[in-house]
Structure formats: C-alpha cells, structure tokens
Amino acid sequence: MTTQELEQRGLIYEIDFSATRSSGAGGQNVNKVNTRVELRFNVVHSSVFDNSEKEMLLANLANRINLNGELLMWSQTERTQLGNKEKVTQRFLEMIAKALTPVKKRKPTAPSAAAKRKRLDSKKRLSEKKERRRDAGI
C-alpha cells in the first residue's frame, strides 16, 4: 500500500494534531512559540481500516502504540509549525504504508554446486596454509 492510497482513503481526516513548545536550543523563540507538532491516531477506532488491517497495524507497530490504541508521533526539527506538521504527517503515512505491506515469505533454496565447490576450495586452501605452518615449525 502506498501513501497516496492511504490519503485517498481519507486517513488524514482521522488524525488529531496538537502543538506544544519544542525542547532544546532555539533562543528566545523556543520559549514562546508552539512549533512542536504531535500527531495522534487511534488505530482501534479507525473507520478507514478493516479488522485484518487493524490487526496488522497493531502487530507491526506494537512498540509505538499505547494502551489506548493510539499511535503517537511528533516532530520538532523544523522552525515552523507547518513544517513540523508536514514532516510528521509524511513519516506517519510512510510508517502505516510499511506496516500494511505484507512480508514476502522466503523460499528456501539449496546452495548451488559452484557455491559448494567454492566453499570447499576455500576450506582446502586454509587447511593447506595451516599445514605448511606446522611443517615449518612456526
């Protein structure tokens, strides 16, 4: 799933934004302007996703979702509230898209004959090198 598909579904309308004061350096401006933007999205109560998609999100983003079923993200790197809002929204959409992308199942394969031969040749060279050391008395 892509970020454009998520936007078309109307995911943006289920996001709650709030602005607070940023922490860290920034001079006088940091103490009086609310530029840090927090994004909250309730996965459990979302009407955009069906139950199977919600389960995938809850499983894949378990360490980012709190006990209320909310995904909380924030950005405070930009100097403006709008810049932080755009940045955190883009990160959010990318994270959701990645969490909803199914993982391809690995097909087990055996090493090729050439790979086996190469591995055995390397082992034989190493063994011969060690044998020569033993003969030299080092």
The pLDDT of residue 138 is 58
The pLDDT of residue 34 is 87
Q: Which domains does the chain have, with CATH numbers?
A: 3-100 (3.30.160.20)
The pLDDT of residue 125 is 96
The pLDDT of residue 39 is 94
Identify the H or E element spanning 93: helix 81-100
Q: Tell me, rounded to whole angstroms, the distance of Cα 61 from its chain centroid.
A: 9
The pLDDT of residue 6 is 80
The pLDDT of residue 26 is 67
Given a cut of 70, the residues of the chain with pLDDT beneath it are 26, 137-138
Contact at 8 Å (CB) between 15 and 37?
no
Nearest-angstrom CA–CA distance, 2 and 97: 6
